[in-house]
Amino acid sequence: MGKKLLTEHIHVPGINSFDVYKQHGGYASVERALKQMTPAEVVEEVKKSGLRGRGGAGFPTGMKWSFIDKKSGKPRYLVCNADESEPGTFKDRYLMEKIPHLLIEGMIVSSFALEAHLSFIYIRGEYKWIYELLWKAVNEAKANGYLGHNILGTGYHLDIVVHCGAGAYICGEETALIESLEGKRGNPRIKPPFPAIQGLYGNPTVVNNVESIAAVPWIVNHGGEAYSKFGVGRSAGTKLISACGNIRKPGVYEIDLSLPVKEFLYSDEYCGGMANGKRLKAVVAGGSSVPILPAELFLQTADGKDRLMSYESLNEGGFASGTMLGSGGFIVYDEDACIVRNTWNFTRFYHHESCGQCSPCREGTGWMEKVLHNLESGHGTSGDIDLLWDIQRKIDGNTICPLGDAAAWPVASAIRHFREEFEWHVAEPELSQKRNYGLLNSTKEKLYHTEATIES
């Protein structure tokens, strides 16, 4: 069984309370950082750890901290991005709901490293019950001397505000989050300037994901080098994966990033294999915004190497034959899943959640939704497939924020790897209208795999 750095005590009864959390070593990193280390030393340990942002982009956390403006004399802010809205992703919710003090502890140490005295947790609007849990944890920490003025007699003071958003996916993008936190519409900002120079209220700001901040206490307690020994290469440490779809054991799993994808998918310790004895068809490895991969490319790279659950291994081959770890939203499709229908569902989401600021995204996501709906409902034409490809190509890379890319990549990869399924929807409109997916595989084999059938 792999080493658990974040979830070791998560099933301890009462671990969501201050007293029980403290009994199991909680807040030790606060005492160590504030009493024995300087802010620069904390930053250096996080750099040594190789911790990368766990929200999707995978940017080195310590490096991001080092970019913050230290010369202007302006107040600095740490903002925790708890706006977990990526379809297929629910690992931050798991942490905040089960062990909220781990996040608060990480916020204190990270704020100290940045020399911030006011920090924010921006939580998605649908997590209202967790919003209350976080405020309870903040108040407990403050009542016990770990927040407020002169923390533990060290002269350092910090307040944390928990702010509930209004349920907009776009506010997961850090500059849109900042706009929303300031009370404005959550439209992404053009960068530069980057938040590290001009962020919240025009002041230097670092925005980090829940899981990223929750990893900091372990790093401070045990050292950056110890953390870097987990994982593989530049994919250091452990990662929380939200596993769902057609598997026997959906849930949140903490994995070492050196874990082979086959082991994660099929071992009883993790997903437990495919549900109902079905065959694996495809996997979305990192949330709905990353490219989908067919089974043969997900389990192995194009040159025959076994894939690992690491940033580099999943991306090996680029988008032609690879994908991204992203936020760790692991969605598994069995042989009966309809790729066209699932892609349409993703596109409906991105069309609905587009802020409308950029015309390629505003118009393009709507067109992709309409074309995919036509194909799914049996009204598509052969030209629709090429039209879809052209639309996603004109969105990708042409928007202020990555939502446009997130909408384009699933469509591009679905066509790239499952074009014959799109063609099936055109060739068999009556079955598409009836949504008779049970006949999809046999029909595809009849239409597109005749030679293979004869040879066998």
Sheet-wide strand order for 238-245:
251-256, 238-245, 329-334, 280-284, 293-294
Gap between the Cα atoms of 266 and 276, Å rounded: 13
Res 433: pLDDT:
61
Which of 229, 256, 283 marks a domain boundary?
A: 229
Q: Do residues 449 and 422 share a domain? A: yes
Please report whether residue 4 resides in a domain. Answer: no
Q: Which residues of the chain have pLDDT under 50?
A: 443-456
One domain, residues 169 and 93: yes
Please state, in angstroms and rounded to a whole number, the distance separating the CA atoms of residues 152 and 23: 18
Alpha-carbon distance of 365 to 150, in angstroms, equals 51
φ/ψ of residue 241, rounded to 5: -120, 130
Q: Do 164 and 151 touch, CB atoms closer than 8 A? A: no
Tabulate helix, strand, coil % of the chain (nearest 5).
Answer: 50, 15, 35
Residue 449, pLDDT score: 36
Domain count, the chain: 3
Which of 229, 251, 277 is the last residue in one of the domains? Answer: 229
Question: What residues does 79 pair with on adjacent strands?
Answer: 120, 207
* 3-class SS of residue 234: coil
Q: What are the counts of helices (DSSP H) followed by strands (DSSP E) for the chain? A: 21, 11
421 domain residue, yes or no: yes
Structural tokens at position 72 = 């202007």
Specify whether 407 is located in the same domain as 357: yes
Asked if residue 437 and residue 323 are part of one domain, the reply reads no
Residue 40, pLDDT score: 97
Same domain for 141 and 255, yes or no, is: no
Q: Are residues 301 and 188 in the same domain?
A: no
| Nearest C-alpha neighbor of 199 from the set 294, 302, 295, 118 | 118
Q: Is 375 helix (H, G, I), strand (E, B) or coil?
A: helix
The CATH number of residue 329's host domain is 3.10.20.600
Residue ending a domain, among 189, 210, 229, is 229
Contact yes or no for 368/385 (Cβ under 8 A): no
**Residue 223 sits in the same domain as residue 356:** no
Closest CA to 205 of 7, 65, 53, 337: 65
216 and 293, same domain (yes or no): no
| Sheet strands (E) in 29-102 | 77-82
In the prediction, which pLDDT does 453 show?
Answer: 31
Length of the chain: 456
CB of 354 closer than 8 Å to CB of 173: no
Provide the whole-model pTM. Answer: 0.92
Please list, in sequence order, all residues whose beta carbon lies within 8 angstroms of the beta carbon of residue 261, skipping any fewer than 6 positions away: 285, 298, 299, 306, 307, 308, 309, 314
pLDDT at 186: 94
Opening angle at CA 286, ends 422 and 421, nearest 5: 10
Domain CATH for 152: 3.40.50.11540
Q: Domain span at residue 390?
A: 339-455
The separation between CA 26 and the C-alpha centre of its own chain, rounded to angstroms, equals 26
